[in-house]
Amino acid sequence: MLPPSSIGKGKCISSRGSLGQGKHTLAERKGKAPSGIGVNSKYYQQMIDAIASIGPGNYKGPGFYALRGYLLAKNVEEVKNFVDSYRVTWKETGCTIMADGWNRCRRTLINFLVYCPRGIVFLKSDDAPDASKTADMLYKLLREVVLVVGPENVVQIVTDNSANYVAARKLLEQEFYTLRVCLDTAEN
């Protein structure tokens, strides 16, 4: 499983040797492998090396149904186990929930991350409608995350300082009186 940060646009590279004879493929000209892995990612060459080490004709990739079926379920389980391994630290030291909202293509996305001394875990992303800009909707989204993490484990919540987040903060503090909600004053 490749980390999400490895996915994205990359610089073009040319393939050499038996695979491309020095010619650029369409994927390379666009700066991406067909899977969306940036060709300047360190994982791109690792992927090519792993495939090439098997030898020509000796490996048949998984089909559509395997990828969307049991292999996807297996990856989901691995990610769940990874997040669960952090829950132990959340209970021992407490944690910080960070909410980062941003707009892209007229859609509001809110990413929820959990920080603890062991590291940061991406918990979820919410493709929030315009209603998410209201304090009540933000409160509901943040409350759901607090309940998933465990209110007893959450030391603080960090959000931006817009009026809707300030109002959502007050609602959270009324329900979860042990929480501290911090406002990030950095400009976007």
For the chain, the three-class secondary structure string (H helix, E strand, C coil) is: CCCHHHECCCCCCCCCCCCCCCCCCHHHHHCECCCCEECCCHHHHHHHHHHHHHCCCCCCCCCHHHHHCHHHHHHHHHHHHHHHHHHHHHHHHCEEEEEEEEEECCEEEEEEEEEECCEEEEEEEEEECHHHHCHHHHHHHHHHHHHHHCCCCEEEEEEECCHHHHHHHHHHHHHCCCCEEEEECCCC
- Domain boundaries, given as residue ranges, for the chain: 16-62, 82-184
Q: Which CATH class is domain 82-184?
A: alpha beta
Residues of the chain with pLDDT under 70: 1-39, 130-132, 181-188
Residue-averaged pLDDT of the chain? 77
Q: What is the pLDDT of residue 25?
A: 46
pLDDT tens, position by position, 137-154 = 899 999 999 999 999 999
